[in-house]
Amino acid sequence: MYEPEVNKTKDKILIVEDEEAIRDMLGYALMKEGFSCEEATDVDQARVTIESNRPSLILLDWMLPGMSGIDYARRLRSVPETRDIPIIMLTAKGEEADKIKALDTGADDYITKPFSTKELIARVKAVLRRYSGVDDSGVIEVNGLLLDPNTYRVTADAHNIEISPTEFKLLHFFITHPERVYSRSQLLDHVWGENVYVEERTVDVHIRRLRKTLEPFNFDKYIQTVRSVGYRFSAR
């Protein structure tokens, strides 16, 4: 069941890197910034860690023994359970084509070795922010549309919006998972919960209501229909 996160605890970062020196350096830099870290030297270890303790973000080395980071990123993106975990690729390759390949597989960002820890931390924070948009109070704001998961209140350009709990959850899910297309069944799993029996057209009903609620403030355009696939939230 999808519950809007309130007062987020420490973000967990999984470092998948076979070079010990780089792993240590990353772990140290991240922990100094208040992140908690897990480390894996290859994909097999990473898989075990993710199953027992889902990370907030994965730093994934491109060149790993066994399965490569790029193939693993592709695999993570293809499975519903891990599709939403942000990935930053670490790569020694500087070629533009490789960077594009990294982003094509579904990585959110890439960083080229050697890099400064300052740059790395900035990238990590930027990606996490892009995913959550959540500040310390849990309040999320996108272009004047503001959601407060503490009170379940929504305001648009400082006007209060009347919204039902389901529409709130749906909007919260969208706003914290922007730019990705979700099918009706994925939205049901995420917002209604996996073991709840609800017909897929229920999603359409709530999308319609949500758009109607947002329409007077012109935010309905953020809830986009992707034909024959599903829906997406985009503030672009």
CB of 83 to Ca ion, least distance (A): 24
Kindly state whether residue 189 participates in binding Ca ion, applying the rule CB under 5 A.
no
- Restricting to residues 16-45, name those near Ca ion by CB under 5 A: 18
- Restricting to residues 212-231, name those near Ca ion by CB under 5 A: none
Q: Which of 38, 39, 61, 148 binds Ca ion (CB under 5 A)?
A: 61
CB of 90 to Ca ion, least distance (A): 8
User: What is the pattern of x (binds Ca ion, CB under 5 A) and - over residues 63-102?
Assistant: x---------------------------------------
Question: Quick one: 19 or 141, whose CB is closer to Ca ion?
Answer: 19
Question: Quick one: 39 or 61, whose CB is closer to Ca ion?
Answer: 61
Number of residues that bind Ca ion (CB under 5 A): 3
Question: Quick one: 38 or 61, whose CB is closer to Ca ion?
Answer: 61
SS3 track for the chain: CCCCCCCCCCCEEEEECCCHHHHHHHHHHHHHCCCEEEEECCHHHHHHHHHHCCCCEEEEECCCCCCCHHHHHHHHHHCCCCCCCCEEEEECCCCHHHHHHHHHCCCCEEEECCCCHHHHHHHHHHHHHHHHCECCCCCEEECCEEEECCCCEEEECCEEECCCHHHHHHHHHHHHCCCCEECHHHHHHHHHCCCCCCCHHHHHHHHHHHHHHHHHHCCHHHEEEECCCEEEECCC
Site residues, Ca ion (CB under 5 A): 18, 61, 63
